[in-house]
Structure 1
């Protein structure tokens, strides 16, 4: 009575153990054969995982390949593809700026590898059960017939073919080859020589040397110099932000960080975050122009923004006139940012918020179901939506736009409490606007958070003053704004907290 259940239990354990071994083996093989194409470092990049414990960056035919520890048993090879950079100097400058704020790119690579690992595990679990299913379907009698046929010529041929196909499917391509060219790696310090000082963060980086790398040394030296200058400037600015004398939120208040016109300057992201933490901010508003052209190569800027503020309670954004097309919006929406579809929604601190993408962005700001609308037409539609909500008892406390001019009709009609935007790269306000019915609203335009002189702000330091705002909410309404400006020389200018009274 006891023997049969024990045998069944052992049989079940044998099946489960076999399934686990097969699943893990198949998942590992699938994982090592996986590759994904993503946007990394302003390139279309192909990621291939491995178990080397190293990150290898294949930079193309001119710049030398780089290698560094990954910090885990999992490694990845990143092969950079096409980019729109016009010159090597421009490309090297981008690398330096991105490397000084790498969290966004690390997050992209990590999420991609994790997705490949999960997909491999799922496929392995399914495929691992196929041999057991076949085993059960064949049946005991048929299996005994197959065993008897194994010593025959046909049985050996079929068995050998099955083994060969299995090995071919499981063993990674190139495994065991001895004719592959040897790779010679040296430390970045040895590659550049003792005359080029290296930041401590680059101690573990190695360079693959070949006949062409000597010609790239000047570009690498320039990139290291830009990286060091950028890392030092923005790191010091972030450290200094913690010491700023900012107004702290009182009980019942919510503070929101306001950024605008970053224009690809990822270095300012950690500075803005540090200012937000110093001021007690728990959410963020983004008034647009996170990129210079809205192109896919600028995904690094959006990934940096997403990684820097991913743990905040709320993240609301609109697309600016430089965020052409739908890429910027869709990319950030995929990473948890909230954009607007012509409806008033919940905002920070129990408030209600409405926003609109700038109509001068190709494909954006078309009021969702209409196309070809002008700036003025969108302004009128925005006012109608805000005033209709106000009449229904759903007052818009914050109107988030890229250019505050598009919200003038709504503000003049007294339908909103506060309009926040950017666009002109100069901070103005907060300015009170009294409507015809006597109600008061405010307009506030933030300067360029990226310190952009024109449409792009990538560089080792600021090109012009960088602006960040802190908006305070109480009882569901904005009640104050504080402006912080970082000067190109690293000095902070902190404006007094400006109360908003209604």
Structure 2
């Protein structure tokens, strides 16, 4: 009998470890799962081996798409309820409610790739965690078996199995190949008589097959949804093109002004900051925000809050979309608003954005102080204090911090009046805020300048912000002189409901006129008269509003916005 040749010890261990790793990876990948959202719904995503992406909508049926994953892998999506804080309804007609629902789903269809990317990374992370966990279990089990066997028994087993290394390896490979073949053979092909729905032709869901009662729903209302999707895509694509044209026209106009000596010289190291505010999940504006940032050479982006509508987990797609609008290497500084939440802040921080928390941060040489709003507004539920202090206490703390730091260049808050004590103290030269959905300023308040940004979502009273604009959307460019430590000018970029973009000329920021007998900053006051109503979203007290350029709205913000509408400022 021919004596079996025993492979070297290192090779045997390599084969054992490789087999264990492969088995654990297969386990990790095929059992990966994630809890994210699908449109306004919460949803559970689970990897399986049927070669299909199947969205289970319960008694309504399923939506099936051929899986793009290799090796027969697919994904099962179990759609769950819409979170309770998104289900508030009014006394509108059934058709009005349907249109409202279509608007919410439009957020998903407007930028489905955002959701797809989030799901992909979540499943990859889940697979990695499960793989590592399985490896730990295998390693602990092997160590336990080693201890139980003892040295003598281990030597006996090694002497018996080592000469059969190649046979055992071949057997493991055969089992793996057969198992893979069975998995691939178990892939369910598209069922006969179930054609792809024509509604999804030309969209990210092209080729989807519908089952059950959902099929009739899609046949009935799918055309409406597709029309909304196409209308939304066309509107913002045309608006973005118009924005580029408007910017080129403004550059020519500005060059002429400069050659004629009508434009004031600006330091070469001036910092350009782009202000957005009250985005309220209107992801259609994301491409225009990015275009403005790139065309202007923005160095810092400032978000004055209300990125979402209700601060829920399913609005992560909104945060993701706006994060994608930030150019590489440009910092985003955020002061979250009353329609955001702690969860929103965490989602923004995950994208590398700097979420203000009451301390001073520095971006491109600009020292910025700010904090997220202490109030939280939920549609249909009103406004409550969500932190340990009141708005008045927060205002006093910001003023005290500004005076203690001594060199704050800009205050970024959501609600304008929260920054008034800091401006009155003279310890903050310039404040940026939002909340009112109306532009105001720049105007002197106390010993500083206050600027209130209009809504970048074009938020209009009683109107949803998803879909084509219902009101004029605005962004603002600020230029900051790092040597003098002051904001030089403001420039408004607007898009009206017709999709027409306007790049307004720069307007110089007025010089601060010191109070009589007061040339130095005063100490921060102990408290500020900030008393927003707990029954409705806080808004600024009546502001001295500038006439917006080119016929923009001059309406003052209402002191008592209705909680019945889609958005409370």
> Scaled by the length of structure 1, what TM-score is found?
0.78
Q: Which residue, out of 343, 352, 356, partners 2:367? A: 352
1:218 to 215, 220, 231: 220
- Cα displacement (A) at 1:134: 6.3
Would you say the 8 A contact 1:294–1:327 is kept in 2? Answer: yes
2:506 alignment partner, one of 492, 497, 501: 497
Say yes or no: does 1:187 pair with 2:196: yes
Work out the CA distance in 1 between the residues paired with 2:123 and 2:286: 25
Shift in CA distance, 293/432, structure 1 to aligned 2, threshold 3 Å: same
Of stretches 65-74 and 140-149 in structure 1, the one that deviates more from structure 2 is: 140-149
Q: Return the alpha-carbon distance in structure 2 between the equivalents of residues 56 and 479 of structure 1.
A: 55
Find out whether 1:389 has 2:405 as its counterpart.
yes
User: Residue 108 of structure 1 is aligned with which of 113, 118, 123?
Assistant: 118
C-alpha spacing 1:31/1:412, structure 2 compared with 1 (3 Å): same
Matches within 5 A, 1:252-291: 252-291=269-308
How far apart, in 1, do the equivalents of 2:217 and 2:446 lie? 65
2:497 to 488, 491, 501: 488
Give the match's secondary structure for 2:450. Answer: strand
Among candidates 285, 304, 313, match of residue 330 of structure 2: 313
* 1:288 CA drift (Å): 0.9
- Structure 1 residues 418 and 177, CA gap change in structure 2 (3 angstroms): same
Aligned residue number for residue 257 of structure 2: none
* 1:121-167 Cα shifts (integer Å, max 9, x gaps): 323443454676567554685368779999xxxxxxxxxxxx9xx99
Counterpart of 2:46 in structure 1 is 48
Closer/same/farther in 2, CA of residues 314 and 225 from structure 1, 3 Å limit: same
Name the counterpart of 2:263: none
Selected match of 1:361 from 340, 352, 376: 376
Q: Which of 479, 492, 505 matches 1:472?
A: 479
CA separation in 1, counterparts of 2:408 and 2:385?
20
Q: List runs of 5+ in structure 1 lacking aligned partners.
A: 1-5, 151-162, 193-197, 436-440
SS of 2:206 mapped into structure 1: coil
RMSD: 4.0
Equivalent residue for 1:297? 314
Structure-2 change in CA distance of 1:122 and 1:185 (3 Å): farther
Q: Is the 8 A contact 1:265 1:457 kept in 2?
A: no
The 3-state SS of whatever aligns with 2:355 is: coil
Is 1:38–2:45 an aligned residue pair? no
For residues 11-57 of structure 1, the C-alpha deviation after alignment (integer angstroms, 9 at most, x for no partner) is 21221132112211222123212222123322211011246776443
Which residue pairs with 2:76 in the alignment? 77
The answer to whether the 8 A contact 1:446-1:469 is kept is: yes
* Separation in 1, partners of 2:44, 2:470: 33
* Partner residue in 2 for 1:438: none
Deviation at 1:275, TM superposition (A): 1.5
TM-score using structure 2 length: 0.70
Paired residue for 1:156?
none
Q: Residues 206, 276 of structure 1: CA spacing in aligned structure 2 closer, same or farther, 3 A cutoff?
A: same
For the residue of structure 1 that corresponds to 2:411, the secondary structure is: strand
- How far did residue 451 of structure 1 move? 1.3
Corresponding residue SS for 1:416: coil
- Equivalent pair of 1:284/1:316 in contact (CA under 8 Å): yes
* 1:301–1:174 distance in 2 versus 1, CA, 3 Å: same
- 3-state DSSP of counterpart to 2:475: strand
Provide structure 2 residue ranges, at least 5 long, that are not aligned to the other structure: 90-96, 162-171, 255-265, 512-569
Deviation at 1:105, TM superposition (A): 1.7
Deviation at 1:378, TM superposition (A): 2.9
Larger mean Cα displacement after TM superposition, 445-454 or 224-233: 445-454
Q: 1:145 to 1:287 in 2, by over 3 A?
A: same
Aligned to 1:93: 103
The number of equivalent residue pairs is 459
Superposed displacement of residue 267, structure 1: 1.2
- What secondary structure, in the 3-state scheme, does the structure 2 residue paired with 1:452 have? coil
Partner residue, 2:207: 205
In 2, the alpha carbon distance for the partners of 1:365 and 1:75 equals: 44
- Tell me: CA distance 1:19–1:427, structure 2 relative to 1, closer, same or farther (3 Å): same
Which of 428, 440, 444 is equivalent to 1:416?
428
Structure 1 residues 179 and 199: alpha-carbon distance in aligned structure 2, compared to 1, 3 A threshold: closer
